[in-house]
Amino acid sequence: MHFKSNDAKGIACILLAAFGFALMTFFVRLSGDVPTMEKAFFRNAFAAVIAMVTLIRSEDKFKIKKGNGKYIFLRCLFGTTGLLCNFYAIDHLPLADANMLNKLSPFFAIIASIPILKEKPTKIDILTTIGAFCGVILIARPSPDVSIVPALAGLWGGAGAGIAYTFVRLLGKRKERTSIIVLCFSIFSCMLSAPFMIFNFKPMEWWQLGCLIVAGIFAAIAQFSITSAYKFAPARKIGVFDNTQVVFSAFLAIAFFGEIPEVFSIIGYVIIIGMAVFRWYWNLKHEQPEEVTAS
């Protein structure tokens, strides 16, 4: 396995993104009992501002390529619902568990790629997806109790992200600009969460506002870092490194919240990450190169 300089840059960017997303979820949790919609608004506001400034300085400004509008809408819809469910899971599950469920997105992307990209999954894709869901069962530990709701929310957080990134791949193939995709998603999320935030606004302490501002900054850094990562190298070479977010989150949860993962959760982490690593290694050995654009 030979990594070129661009691959190394891609790995560095995706590690930065993973650390950024881990810090985002950490500060979202640290902000306390702030309503989910308020958290979602601040998470996207900073990315929207950065994307807007980038587009203002570009030649084509805010022009969307012909025929891409509906795909951008679907990316926004699935991405936003996934984001909201992920934030709900962050507030009601151990931090590492919530992040691990969100990292199921590549496996949901395999499923979504069948109807959206007309891609036929390989046997390895199917087997690793089934294996990953076995890991989910160990983390969620389904029961008749209402506690299963946060786990299901976390599961949809991963599903929504996976489907959204499948539309991002489609838009990349259709030569849509990254900044347009980021801006539309961020504005859509802010517009969806704003009415709920206004009519059910809960005044924040200064430190809570500070946590959400910092969370938004790290979210923006992470979002643009992961976009750069997939410009440097294809997903089959670097995607697995995104799972380091779970490791970062676990350390933060242990250090600041005293959350020690349960044995079954740890086994679930190992299974899910193991499936991702195995599929990544298999693809490197057996598949032809394919460039992927992400946002």
Which pLDDT score, from 0 to 100, does residue 279 have? Answer: 77
pLDDT interval class at 196 (50, 70, 90): confident
Average pLDDT over residues 172-191: 88
Please give the full DSSP string across 24-81, using - where no structure is assigned: HHHHHHHT-S--HHHHHHHHHHHHHHHHHHHHHTSSSTTPPPTT-HHHHHHHHHHHHH
Instruction: Please give the average per-residue pLDDT across 144-150, as a whole number.
Output: 67
> What is the rounded distance in angstroms from the CA atom of residue 26 to the CA atom of residue 201?
22
Say yes or no to pLDDT of 289 above 70: no
**Average pLDDT over the chain, rounded to whole?**
81
E strand or H helix at 90, and its extent?
Answer: helix 69-92
8 A C-beta contact, residue 181 and residue 74? no
Q: What is the pLDDT of residues 90-112, one digit of tens each?
A: 888 887 778 778 877 777 887 88
Residue 295 pLDDT grade (very low, low, confident, very high; cuts 50, 70, 90): very low
Question: Which pLDDT does position 187 carry in this prediction?
Answer: 93
Res 170: pLDDT: 85
- Domain regions of the chain by residue span: 5-286
pLDDT at residue 171 above 80?
yes
Q: What is the rounded distance in angstroms from the CA atom of residue 76 to the CA atom of residue 86?
A: 15
Instruction: Label residue 200 by pLDDT band (50, 70, 90).
Output: confident
pLDDT surpasses 90 at 166: no
DSSP label at residue 163: H
Residues ≥6 apart with Cβ < 8 Å to 133:
104, 107
With tokens 């989150």, the residue in question is 249
